[in-house]
Structure 1
Amino acid sequence: MPSFDVTRSRFRLSDDDVFVLAQLATGQPVPAAMEPAAARLRDAGLADGAGQLSALLLPLMRTVVQPSVIVSLEAGGRQGVLHHGLLIGDDHVVCHETWPGQEEAEYRLVEPRTVVWTLADLIALRQSDGDATEEVVETTVGVLEAGLAALEKASSTPGADERALVAEALRAAGGDGVAARLAELVVELRSQWRMTAAWQGRQDGAQGVVARAVAAWDCGPLGYWLRELPAEPLAEGGAQAGAPFRLRRVAAKRVWQELTALLPDATELTTA
């Protein structure tokens, strides 16, 4: 059931709810298949029988239907993959966050001046205790996938030694040289995330969608690791098993800089 918190301008909405609201906001008809969602929105007081949106929703929906910049975050961990993001408009910024196992996401307005802070919060970025000693771990996508598969199996086996089983799988897949260190990272992996910013602009002299992306691992006590290979954006279908995979340990400050660099500057938006 959709709901809202007027004190913080936040709303809990499913994908169907957002679709119906976007149709109403742009004057488009609501398909018959979406009538249950439309009824829920009316019951929640977010729309009326004539299809008019609640005034509480107007700043949010203006941004949702016509954003200048779309930032999407795909974060994977032991609870599965979650999708969060930001929609940046001319006057407002909307943050949306999902929750494991829940159909609805939270949509809220955030202060435009805090966009980078909000992105950092979405990935749970924390200040490092000190400068991270640079370290590089290299293998192949196939070796990594073998380790991740072993972790998934070990996680569902009571009493299993996750680190030993992951290291064994990495060695069996041909990653003997990095098995010990990569097994530590895989076991401590809190999330592996990919963040992409996209907007209308010019690229190579042609008008179209411009995008920048960054990917990283959050390994908890073992720090932050930028995923340098496979490079973003990934080709459709993902990387092949034999493709190189490389992680580089970095300080939290470097991750912050990468988040800042994702966003277009005023000149890029002006030419869009």
Structure 2
Amino acid sequence: MPSFDISRSRFRLADGHVIVLSELAAGNPSPDEFTEAREQLLDCGLINSEGRLSPLLLPLMKTVLAPGVIITLEAAGRQGKLHHGMFIGDEHVVVHEAWPGSAEAEYSCVEPKMLVWKLAEMVNLQQSSVVREAAVPVVETTIRAVEAGLSVLEGQRPVRSAVEEREAVHRALAASGGPGEPSLTLLTDLISELRSSWRLTSAWQARAEGGEGTEARGFAVWDCGPLGYWLRELPTEPVPEARVTPSSSFRLVRVDARAVWTRITTLLPDTNELRNAAGRR
């Protein structure tokens, strides 16, 4: 069920609720297949019987319908994949954050000056003083090997110990043509300690060869807990998944929290780029 918190300007909405609200905000009837979602929005007071949106929703929907910049965050971990994101408008910034096992995400308005800090929070960026040294600063292998190692985490048995899991990861990497030592052992440790792998992508309208186009920037990181942060240099982001094959190169480079913070700040377009994007909406 949808719900909202007036004190913090936040809303819990499923995809169906957002579709209905978007259509109603644009002056269109809600799709027939989302009748249940519309009734739920009516029951909780976010729309009235005539399909008018609650004033509480106006900043959120105005931004969602006409963002200047869209930022997507795809995170994968032991609880599966989660999709978060941010819509940056002329006046407001709207963030949506998913929750494992829930069809609803939390949508909230964020102070524009705080959006970089919010992105850092969304990826759980932390400056930790307890980080183990790595045998090598760079690990190179193939997508095939990495997927084989990660598949062990996805198919783990509930009673599997950490030692059993690590041994299974090591065998999977070696059997799939993983890197030689010491990279093989390090990659085994990185996968075993992996808290989440995530990629941030920003997109906005821009000129492309004299016409209208889309500008995009992105980067991907592995958060390996006590082994720190590892920037995924290959495949380079943003890259369509269709262009990645099992034999594609895969490279991780050790970075610190400051480097990740810098990457987040450079993900955003500059003032002129934002002004141009606003003029094309």
1:156 Cα deviation (Å)?
4.2
Secondary structure of the structure 1 residue equivalent to 2:85: strand
Are positions 1:264 and 2:276 aligned together?
no
1:153 Cα deviation (Å)?
3.1
Give deviations 1:181-240, integer Å, cap 9, x for gaps: 100000100100011101111245432111111101000111000000011122342511
Whether the aligned pair in 2 keeps the contact of 1:201 and 1:269 (CA below 8 Å) is no
Residues in 1 aligned to 2:4 and 2:228: alpha-carbon distance in whole angstroms? 36
Corresponding position of 2:166: 163
1:29 Cα deviation (Å)?
1.2
Corresponding position of 1:196: 201
Moved more, 155-164 or 230-239: 155-164
Show structure 2 runs of 5+ residues with no match.
Answer: none
Residues in 1 aligned to 2:259 and 2:208: alpha-carbon distance in whole angstroms? 26
Corresponding position of 2:137: 135
1:230 partner letter: P
Change (3 A) 1:236 1:144: closer
1:46 partner letter: L
1:130 Cα deviation (Å)?
8.2
Residues in 1 aligned to 2:179 and 2:42: alpha-carbon distance in whole angstroms? 59
The TM-score normalised by the length of structure 1 is: 0.95
4+ residue segments displaced more than 6 Å: 130-134
2:145 partner letter: V
Identical pairs, percent: 54
Secondary structure of the structure 2 residue equivalent to 1:161: helix
What do you get for the CA RMSD once the two structures are aligned? 1.7
Corresponding position of 1:45: 45
Within 5 Å, give how 1:214-229 maps onto structure 2: 214-229=219-234
Are positions 1:20 and 2:20 aligned together?
yes
Change (3 A) 1:223 1:39: same
Corresponding position of 1:122: 122
Corresponding position of 1:151: 153
Secondary structure of the structure 1 residue equivalent to 2:7: coil
Corresponding position of 1:239: 244
Give deviations 1:6-52, integer Å, cap 9, x for gaps: 00000000100001111111101112221211111111000001111
Whether the aligned pair in 1 keeps the contact of 2:130 and 2:226 (CA below 8 Å) is no
Whether the aligned pair in 2 keeps the contact of 1:128 and 1:251 (CA below 8 Å) is no
